[in-house]
Structure formats: structure tokens, C-alpha cells
Chains A and B, each alone.
Chain A
């Protein structure tokens, strides 16, 4: 379906410009998206791609510029307008109601009358048609909560198509999927394309751009810096265009020199209030001088594992030994005690756990270490010492801007992460737990963070990395453990693993 007449672009943006106060988020962007194609928009965090798509979807209004849809100049005042023009958006976080059925979710906001029954019947017929036309089959009467994540995403896509969208925007759709589910998603997108639907894929994963798109726009600092036909480019070139300089995506590592066991769990389990087994018989050994990676799809117990290991949650059963100190149900630990034992923790969600958005950077730089010297003397916090400490961390970890007095939330994601990492590594911990080391971090900072983790490992620290980015696990870890449904389902050596086998294990298909 590449039959293109130059006049009828599915979407054309001309000179879109948007500022938030002093932040110039989108600078005069013009682009053209042909109907019936899959177009990728790739860029680092803060490059402006989400803002651009939010303007297209009517969530924000541009300061200047024009939006043309199907050859007509349109006004996008709200998502309602976008939907009316056949544009639909699938968000990164699903907007579904878990306890409703697929059908009920579908009609939400388009019930069609005071009585639900009529709307539901229409929707059922329409769903059958969509399933037939696009090969998107989902049981209309299944409860959303019972569906897999991949199926939930399919419901999201159906929801958008149900509203009559012919242009589909997907924002980081693979963030919650296994590699296999991602492949399946791309199959669906290709089918949609063959049926004439136009797809816009926003992502920072170059692999997906290469696998799924026909054409790609690269954004940097609010501007389109390049446009390529996908088949004419490669990951290396795109990475360079995104960052604006050469990037090394591989890591140099000296061979692992394992030391003593610093962290060990035996039959560790965690059961929540409703009786759900979140961790099940987890046995891990973590030695000095190695990086162990935990791979798995989000929500398979990795977060809970980090919480238990760092003392935030007490285990329901089993034992945990950290630097020779044992914690079990009779002797619960707490995060302060863990820190004293020499365990540091870079939490998965830095904004929710690792820092206080409203605090100054200097205050964030002592979170968890505020009691006792060098920050507290004679029961009083030593402000100058805290500030100096923060300035030193910023210097060492290249946190920008170097302003200890700035609010933590005013730093970019990458710089926040560097600050949290700096705080935890600076104490020279014996055990370092890291959750999603590079989530929401741009490529330049990823390089840096990976090197720092390897440096800590080379200095004899026992490092445990939990990440949903397989590439990251594969390049960082000396050993890989795969988690599925709260269990460790296998151990792989990175040299002998590939994404395919890991993906199968992550989906619970194979137990090594």
C-alpha cells in the first residue's frame, strides 16, 4: 500500500512550536506522514517527541504551526477533535478498568444512550468486524484483569479502532512486553498497515525502529534532526543522530573475579494481604565482584525482591543473609539497618522512592544517610557539609546543572538517576541493589551509568541489577537470573544467552 499521491499526506505538521515557560520543547517541527505506513519517531527523553504527539492528539496546543490531516488544515483543541479526525492514541500506561470486561471497556465513553444494552450489542458486532478485518481477536466477555499484558494492549488498540481511528499513535508500546509479545505487536501493526491504517510509533528503542517501521524521524532537543528510510539506515547511525555524537553501546569489562558471598537468600517468599504469592522460594547467591542481572517482564516479582532485599518489606518466609547478618520472619530488617550492614539500594522508581521531588538536590543527596556524621553533628544537620557533599557527587557523576540548591524535580531524568546512583555508590557499599538503572535515562547517561556500575563491581562490590531492558542485562551482567511469577526460573550465562531463549524463559515457557 505504498501508492502515494503527494497531496494526501495522512498527517502533515508545519512549523509546530511549543514552549513551556522557559523550556522550548518543540522548535518549528515540520514532518509528513504518508498514509498506510508505519513511521517511527525516535529520540532521547526530553527530545520533544511525546510533546509533539500530545500536540497532534490535542492534549496540548502549539504556540504556532499548522496541523493538516488528510490534506485539510485542522484545529486540535482537545483529544475529542483528534478522535473526530480519525486519530487515536495508545498510551504507555493502559487506560483500562481492570474489573470491567473487554466489551465494557470498549464502550466506555461511547456508551451510545442511557441504556447500556443497546450500546453493548452494537459494540459486540463492531468488535467482531474489527477482529475479522484486522485479525485482532480478543474474547469480548473476558475480564481485563484476567488478560495478559499483550492482550490488554490489543484491547487498547481495539478501543482506538472502535472509535473510528485510521491513524494510530503508539507511545512506547513495548515498555511492558516480552520480546515475543513485542514481535506479536509488530505483526499486528503490519496487518493494520496492510489494511490502510497509518501507524506512528514513538520509542527510544532502536531495535524496534529497525524491526517495524518504514520511515523514521529522529528528534533531538525539540527539532527533527534527520529523516531516513528505515532500510537505508542502521542502529549505529540512529543512535549517533539521537545523541549528536558517537555512542558506544558495548561495554568493556575485565573478566569477573568473584569473591565471598555477600548476599544470600534461601527459600525466600513473600505473600501479600490477599494471599497472593509475590515471591516464591527464591534462592540467590550474590558474590563480591560480580554483577548479577535479574531479567523478567515487569510485575513478576522483581520489585518485591528488591523491596525484601533492601529491608523495605519483611519476608513472609525463608531467610536472607546480608554481609553475615541473617534476616528472617523472626528477625525482620529495616532499610536503615541494611544500610549500616553495607547495602545500598538504587530504587526502581527514583521519583517515588529514591528522592523527594520538592527537596533541594543537596537534601536528596543525603536521603537515608541523614543520621549521624558527617551530615549530623550535635543533633543538628550540617548544612554546609551537606551542600559540599552534594557538589562533590555532582562533580564526580557529572550531574547537570551543578546546583545543589536546585529542586530535585527540576533535573532531567538522567541527572536525577545519576544523583541517586552517586549517593548510593559514594558510600562504597559492599552490596549494591540497582532497579532499572537506566529507565527514562538518555543514551549518553546510560553509557556513563553502566560504566559506573562496572567500576563498582571491579572494586569488589556485589551488584544486583534488575532491569526490563534485556540488552542492558546482557551487556552488564556476569550471570543472569530470570524471574517469572515470583520464582527464579533459570540461570544463564550472558555469553551463551540470546534474546530469544531469555524471552521464552521470561514468558515462563522454559525452565533451565
Chain B
């Protein structure tokens, strides 16, 4: 008998919710960034122009932007899938790390014997498997022991980091090498890439993942059950879904997606196992998913924005000395703040606008 707790104006139309609101969020972030840039004595419009041309101004910069976007897509999708199941996976960092380990181990073990057309799928599968396995432990702890997944996934990031350092320094280091990295992958263990650019076949994998996530979540009975669990666990139990099993499925899927960062970085770019190749992508995935409203298409668009920021920001830091690397991080942080934490800030204004326009 409670009256509906609606806000003053009606809900936004769908397109405004999906397109307009994020754009307004980004615009707000850029306004604040502009003010900060002006404070440190740089013309904000000049900086913006540099940022945009740095990200999109040439084939080369577009290539870099897409390469970064590939990583953001993987981790963004990982967060989104878990989120639809009501799980907050902030262990993308560790899962990406372990995914790289899996991919690298498979290649180090088999690249001498296998041709590329066989090696590549196996290495991709190994990345997925290791990423999923790393997510499966916190999932199991949550499903059976009640340990909160936010806590366990974040702790597993540290465990992953320590494990990798140990393995790289003591086990996988190339003989005679001074830096902790493995021997180089043979050509069969390298993904086809565009010459001179880090952009490689992983981009196609990322697009395929977007499609796969979309089909899985909205067009399979398992995706349906997963979303039911996320929205309303009690209704999921009522419907006969085993919540424990579904938690495992969701987290393993999520972990596998994060693991693909290793494919892009190691198989696509470094061609050997290195340390810290995943740095930051796991956490940025949270913002990408938030901004993309946990929809694969939204994640893809948000990933492109983040990729552009990453690339444009690097150019900006290079061109204008007073804008340092840290300044670029601040810009990214503000965008995350406005599209994540403050995502609903402009909603009432937009609602009023639409309410006034409607008869």
C-alpha cells in the first residue's frame, strides 16, 4: 500500500538513458578538466585539440587507440558479466595477469611443435582457462563459504602479483637474462598484427567477445537465469536456479574475459611473458562497465573512449611539458568519477527538461 516512490518527473526515454546521459557525463568531466588545465596555465582548448588529434589524428594514433581499447573491452566485459549476476568482480587485474600466464605457458610449451593455426586457439583457450580458474576460487569462497567476493577478488590481485613475480624471477626467466622476462615466443605463438603497431588480431577477439556476451546474456536460458540472479536472487531460487552453480558460471565467464588481456598484450605485442603488462586495465574495466551501462555495445564504446584517452593523454603529456603523466591520470579519474560515481547526477535535470518538453 505504499505510494510509488517516483521522482518528480517521469523516466527518461531509452535513447536518452543510453546515449545522452553518458555524453552529458563526459561533457561535465571535460568541463572540470578544462578548469583544472586552465589553472595550471594551459589553454584548455589547445589541450583538447592535442588530446583529440593525439588519439585520432593519424592511422598510427588510431591504431594505438584501438589497441588500448581492446584491453578495456575485455576487462569491461568481465566486470559487466559479473555485474549482471549481482557480483562485483574487482579482480580483473589478477585474472588478466593469470590469463597472460596461461597463454604464455601454453606457447612456451608448444610453439616449437605446433603451427600458428593450432597454437593460437590453444593459447587463447589457455588464457581463458587460467583467467577463469583465478576467478573460480573467490567464486567458490563466496558460493560455499560466504566470503564476500569484493574482498576476495581484490586480495587475489595481490596474490596474482606476488605469484607472477616469483615465477618470473625464479622459474620462467630466460636463461642468461637480467630482466625478469621469459624467452621470446616463436612466430607460431605470435598473433598477426598491423606492421609497426601494437594493434593485432585480439581486436577481432574483443569484438567477438562483445557479440558472445550479448547473445549469452539476452538470448540463452543461462544468461536469463544469470540476470535473474543479479536482479533478484530470491526469484532465481524460486525459478529453480542453483545460485552456487550460477555464481561459479558467472565468475568463470568473467575471469576468462579478463584473461584475454594477456592474449592482446603477450601474444599480440610483447611476444614473451613480462611483468605488469596488465597494469591498471583490470580496475579501469570497472569504470568502462559502469560507463557502458553493462551492455556489450556500451562497453565497446566506453572502451574506445578510454583507449582514446590513454593514447591522446600520452601525446598530450609528450607535447605539453606542464601536463605530466599524472595529470593525464587525473583526467581519466575525473571521467571515471563523472561517469561512474556521479553517473546519475544530471538525470534530474534531463528529466525536468523532457518533462517540460512533453505536453
Contacts and interface: CB of A to CB of B under 8 A. Distances in A.
A356 B355 contact: no
A22 B239 contact: no
A381 B3 contact: no
Interface string B211-247: 0000100111101110110011011011111100000
B11, B224, B237, B241: residue with the most chain A Cβ atoms closer than 10 Å: B224
Contact of A339 (B8, B225, B232, B240): B240
A440 B1 contact: yes
Contact of B220 (A22, A339, A380): A380
A216 B59 CA distance: 77
B2 A50 contact: yes
Given A347-B238, A352-B235, A381-B220, A367 B228 contact: yes
Given A21-B10, A172-B1, A353-B238, A381 B232 contact: no
Contacts of B355: 21
A21 B238 contact: no
A192 B125 CA distance: 75
A171 B238 contact: no
Interface string A375-387: 1100111010000
A54 interface: yes
A23 B221 contact: no
A345 interface: yes
Contact of B9 (A21, A204, A335, A379): A21
A336 interface: yes
Contact of A352 (B7, B228, B234, B239): B234
B258 to A, nearest CB: 24
A23 B238 contact: no
Contacts of B2: 50
Contacts of B240: 311, 334-339, 368
A355 interface: yes
Interface string A267-311: 000000000000000000000000000000000000000000011
Interface stretch (A1-9, A80-88, A357-365): A357-365
Contacts of A381: 218-221, 223-224
Interface in B297-346: none
A371 interface: yes
Contacts of A202: 1
Given A50-B2, A312-B238, A356 B232 contact: yes
A45 B2 CA distance: 9
A370 interface: yes
A45 B1 CA distance: 7
B4 interface: yes
Contacts of B218: 381
A239 B11 CA distance: 34
Given A356-B231, A363-B224, A380 B237 contact: no
B1 A371 contact: no
A376 B6 contact: no
Contacts of A21: 6-11, 355
A45 B240 CA distance: 31
Contacts of B237: 312, 335, 353
Given A21-B11, A172-B1, A376 B232 contact: no
A25 interface: yes
B10 A22 contact: yes
Contacts of B228: 356, 359, 367
A172 B227 CA distance: 35
Contacts of B11: 21
Nearest to B239: A368
Nearest to A375: B221
Contacts of B223: 381
A50 B3 contact: yes
Contact of A370 (B6, B224, B234): B224
A310 B221 CA distance: 21
A376 B10 contact: no
A338 B239 CA distance: 10
A375 B224 CA distance: 11
A338 B238 CA distance: 11
A190 B311 CA distance: 76
A60 B224 CA distance: 37
A379 B220 contact: yes
A354 interface: yes
Nearest to A19: B8
Given A171-B1, A312-B237, A334 B219 contact: no
Given A50-B3, A334-B240, A380 B225 contact: no
A198 interface: no
A236 to B, nearest CB: 23
Nearest to B10: A21
A370 B239 contact: yes
A490 B213 CA distance: 54
B4 A23 contact: yes
A172 B221 CA distance: 40
Interface of A: 20-23, 25, 45, 50-51, 54, 60, 92, 171-172, 202, 204, 310-312, 334-339, 345, 347, 352-359, 363, 366-368, 370-372, 375-376, 379-381, 383, 440
Given A20-B6, A311-B240, A347-B238, 20 more contacts: A21-B6, A21-B8, A23-B6, A45-B1, A50-B1, A54-B3, A60-B3, A92-B1, A335-B237, A335-B239, A337-B240, A339-B240, A352-B235, A353-B235, A356-B235, A358-B231, A359-B227, A368-B240, A370-B225, A379-B220
20 contacts: A20-B3, A20-B8, A21-B8, A22-B10, A23-B4, A202-B1, A312-B238, A335-B239, A337-B240, A356-B228, A356-B231, A358-B231, A367-B238, A367-B239, A368-B239, A368-B240, A372-B221, A376-B221, A381-B219, A440-B1
8 closest A-B pairs by CB: A336-B240, A21-B10, A368-B239, A335-B240, A51-B3, A20-B6, A370-B221, A353-B238
Interface of B: 1-4, 6-11, 215, 218-221, 223-225, 227-228, 231-232, 234-235, 237-242, 355
